[in-house]
Amino acid sequence: MSSFWNNRISVSLFGEAHGPAIGVTVDNLPSGEFIDAEELSRFMARRYSCGSGVAVDSMPHILSGILNERTTGAPLCALLQNRNASAPQHEPKDPLLRPGHADYTGTVRYRGFNDVRDGGHFSDSATDPLCFAGAVCAQILERRGIYTGAHILQIHNTKDNPFDPVNITRDGVLSVRNKDFPVINDRKGWAMIEDINKAEEGGESLGGVIECAAVNVPAGIGSPIFDGLENNIAQLIFGIPNVRGLEFGAGFLSAKMVGSQHNDEFYVNDHGHVLTKTNNHGGIIGGISSGMPITLKVAFKPSEFVGGQQDAVNYRKMMTETVDSTKHIPCSVPAAVPCVEAAVNIALLSHMLDYPNFC
């Protein structure tokens, strides 16, 4: 299975939903970087809030790569013990191909040898070590003034206020990032929570959209064609389960504009910096950062874990069976907010290593 992302830094994920542990190895991080364990713990805690359904220890056990709170230059390896680990006798007798899951496609791809317990390697548990890697990258970036933050832009039909794509600042990023329920407009957040509660009562699940912004990224990061900043962010974003769409800047609204509307006019500000009056390009032009805030939106489908009964296929008997849900997750979007931040942090740090005097 392809669980290895390699650019200037590499990230390798391992583990399965009901295995004894999951973890990550991150290689080629700059050495000598101070890593605050308490800040790591706070970042990881956001992943386990809002009914995520995950059941791993909140703080990974670091096996290598950090000594005396500093990166050593060796591969950083971290392990998260899994409280959902199943004993062999708890394995299902017959494999079931459940709706919304990757049971069928995984079974075909791996000839029936894949672990289908709670999604196995396809489970959203894989995002826990991804969050750890992104949390480490965030600290390295923030020490250089680069901050990434995300909020819930939409749950079902309820929408939050969007980021200001031109004027979003470090304080704006941090203010929403530190909330228990990360929205800009708290009233909209209460409406979202009410909608999620109704879905839980009815055995349903809801999808939504997460908006992310990275501020103070200097111009000139990234390369055209296959090594663009968007390319690498997209690779990591689509490693998050349930992602169904990604757009940068104005995104699909660009198709409704004419060229003069979409073009972001350049100007020189009072400090001698080249900026744009608008930010339809989302801070990236030609795969390279422009110096404007990097903005993106990520669409998530509803969780596959709904209540009640649904039809599935018994792959061994090749028969349709009606099965009861093993668990119910009314909305996985809130817990995915730090996952999106983590993916963006990893891609940004990877490209920033090319920036003069960064390390």
Q: What pLDDT was estimated at residue 16?
A: 78
Work out the percent of the chain whose per-residue pLDDT is above 70: 89
Tell me which residue of 131, 138, 152, 112 sits closest to 58, measured CA to CA: 131
- Angle at which helices 229-237 and 333-352 cross, to 10°: 140
Confirm if 186 and 145 have CB atoms less than 8 A apart.
Answer: no
Q: Where are the alpha helices (DSSP H) in 202-299?
A: 229-237, 259-262
Which regions in the chain score pLDDT beneath 70?
A: 1-2, 17-18, 49-58, 83-94, 114-124
Which tokens is 248 given?
Answer: 């940068």
- The CATH H-level superfamily of 4-352 is Chorismate synthase AroC (3.60.150.10)
Confirm if 15 and 3 have CB atoms less than 8 A apart.
Answer: no
45 phi, psi to nearest 5 deg: -60, -30
What is the pTM for the complete model shown?
0.91
Q: What pLDDT was estimated at residue 116?
A: 63
